[in-house]
Amino acid sequence: MITDPWFYAAAIPAILLVGISKGGFGSGAGMFATPLIALTLPIPQAAAILLPILCVMDVAGLWAYRGTYARGVLRVLLAGGVLGVVLGTLTFRYVNEAWIRIILGGMALGFVAQRYLVRGSVTPAAPSAPRGIFWSTVSGLTSTIAHAGGPPMSIYLLPLRLDKAVMVGTTVIFFAVINAVKLVPYAWLGLFDARNLSTSAVLAPLAPVGIWVGVKLMRRIPEALFYRICYGILLVVGAKLVWDGVARL
């Protein structure tokens, strides 16, 4: 088990943040967890410690949003997401993480700019199987590499303007399946050693706390404000991804 106090100083707020995000408040903000923990550990180790905790959060999230999801949308997303995990597994050892962050962050920034500066429309978009497959595949790939699958999902789901609980429930189920699938390649890649797993076990009790806070916050804010917050967080996340990617070149 890791005993470095600086690791826990970074890991505890990171896990609470991702729990709040998974609970439905600030979709995509949990993407900051891996970079925060990576301040004290290599990114692959940080991702390996986080994955079992994410799976615990997924169980709590599935219970909180049971039966609340967009069935047709989810079927498309899961097909692309699993494909993305396969691609992420095959490229895990070879991909340049810096460029992944820059490209992903650029997509997020461009999406927000188009939404508010060019179109400025709040008319709901129609679900699209090609777009859903594309963005969910990107999400599965980036989730496998660095648990950064939130921004691509936001880029596809936010324009649909689903009921906020339905959007969160759909996202929760999608990432619950993707994280469960990721357990196999992470084990195959040798990322689950005794030290990482014991550290995950120590931090796991924080998972339901973050979920509970996220669910409470999501249910208390109006839907229009909820979407403004989601877009705002996507903007910040996109900028952070680009910044981190450039810094790693």
**Closest-CA residue to 149 (of 189, 93, 100):** 100
Question: What is the dihedral sign for C-alpha 36, 166, 151, 240?
Answer: negative
The one-letter amino acid code at 104 reads L
Q: Return per-residue pLDDT of the chain as tens, 249 residues.
A: 788 888 898 888 888 888 887 776 655 556 667 767 777 777 778 888 989 998 988 888 898 888 889 999 999 999 999 999 999 898 877 777 678 778 777 877 877 776 666 554 567 888 899 999 999 999 999 888 877 788 888 889 988 988 888 988 999 899 999 999 999 999 998 889 999 999 999 999 988 888 888 888 777 878 677 777 777 777 877 788 788 888 878
pLDDT of 118 reads 54
Q: Report how far residue 70's alpha carbon sits from residue 74's, in angstroms, rounded to the nearest whole number.
A: 6
CA distances from 211 to 3, 97, 207, 221 (A): 25, 28, 6, 16
Domain ranges for the chain, please list them: 5-248
State the pTM of this model. 0.79
Q: Coil, helix or strand for 127?
A: coil
Please provide the DSSP assignment of 156-191 as one string: HHGGG---HHHHHHHHHHHHHHHHHHHHHHHHHTT-
Contacts of 227 (CB under 8 A, 6+ apart): 158, 161, 164
Compute the half-sphere exposure of residue 60: CA atoms within 13 Å on the CB side of its CA: 25
Give CA–CA dist 64/173, Å, rounded.
11
Q: Identify the residue whose tokens are 């996220």.
A: 214
